Amino acid sequence: DSRIKALLLIPDNQVPTAKARKLIPESISHHDATLNSTRTALLVHALAQRPDLLFTATADLLHQNYRESAMPKSIALINKLRGAGIAAVLSGAGPSVMILYAGDESEIDQIPALAPGFNAMKLAIAQGGVQ
């Protein structure tokens, strides 16, 4: 959906991907795996046709909370933004935070003020995929 945009919030610290991956347990509950799998399918639909579903589709039970010890500022920011109804997630293994949104640009322009210690970067989203 061409209405969807992304904002990346990049913290002033780094966490090696290998370290972030080691924080995720080797096994997870069936419930959490099922819930995240259904949200992945929902995310595809939200990105393609229904940006109003981005918030629900980006709720995570598998990655973010386990990584809090390595990136507490990022997880605190995600929780703050999600508490305000904003679709915020770790970008990759973290610690950058990505926000997906469609609609009022002026609301998104306020977010960097809520994220001291993070640099904001608006990202373009390719509509055609890999060519």
CATH number for the domain spanning 25: value is 3.30.70.890
Spatial CB neighbours of 63, under 8 Å, sequence gap ≥ 6: 24, 90
Domain assignment present for residue 57? The answer is yes
pTM over 0.85: yes
Spatial CB neighbours of 39, under 8 Å, sequence gap ≥ 6: 56, 57, 58, 59, 60
Domain assignment present for residue 131? The answer is no
User: Mind listing the pLDDT tens digit for each residue in 23-40?
Assistant: 888 888 898 888 888 999
Domain assignment present for residue 130? The answer is no
Secondary structure element (H or E) that encloses residue 122, with its range: strand 118-123
Give the chain's domain count.
1
Domain residue limits at 34: 4-123
User: Mind listing the pLDDT tens digit for each residue in 83-112?
Assistant: 999 999 999 888 999 999 998 888 888 898
Distance separating alpha carbons of residues 12 and 66, to the nearest angstrom: 21
Domain assignment present for residue 129? The answer is no
